[in-house]
A = this chain, B = another copy of it.
């Protein structure tokens, strides 16, 4: 899936800012914050353009917005496993701050209060990613 195909499929024009954002997101597995996006192309686009473009891409279902428990925000591509699902499960590494989309779903195993209706469940798993675990204790030797 190329950037151009993604945009065309949703009836969006093939503009500079969109190409950059989607190009960056396609390059990697992990989600990106606005700051990380800016760092990868400093001064290329206005801050407002970045916000508006992210909003457009989100509205058209090309990316989704992830809010972490420190209320920082990241954006990730909608991939196949996002189709038709209201469930979002993300992994946040407390060491390197990376965020990944996970495929499994989460379950809430208690009853909701009487009369309450569930629409969707948003799950964030906090932990440490494999790369940071390796960095913390090389060759399985505890420090």
Chain B residues with Cβ below 8 Å from A103 are 110
Please give the count of copies of this chain that the complex contains: 2
- A sample of 6 cross-chain residue pairs with beta-carbon separation below 8 angstroms, ordered by A number, consists of A71-B71, A106-B107, A106-B109, A112-B125, A115-B129, A122-B124
Which 4 A-B residue pairs are closest in the complex by CB-CB distance?
A: A104-B110, A115-B130, A119-B127, A118-B127
Q: A71-B73, A133-B115, A133-B117 in contact; A123/B122 too (CB < 8 A)?
A: yes
A86 nearest CB neighbor, chain B only: B126
Q: Name A's B-contacting residues (CB within 8 A).
A: 65, 67-71, 73, 89, 91, 94, 100, 102-131, 133-134
User: In the complex, are the beta carbons of B116 and A122 less than 8 A apart?
Assistant: no
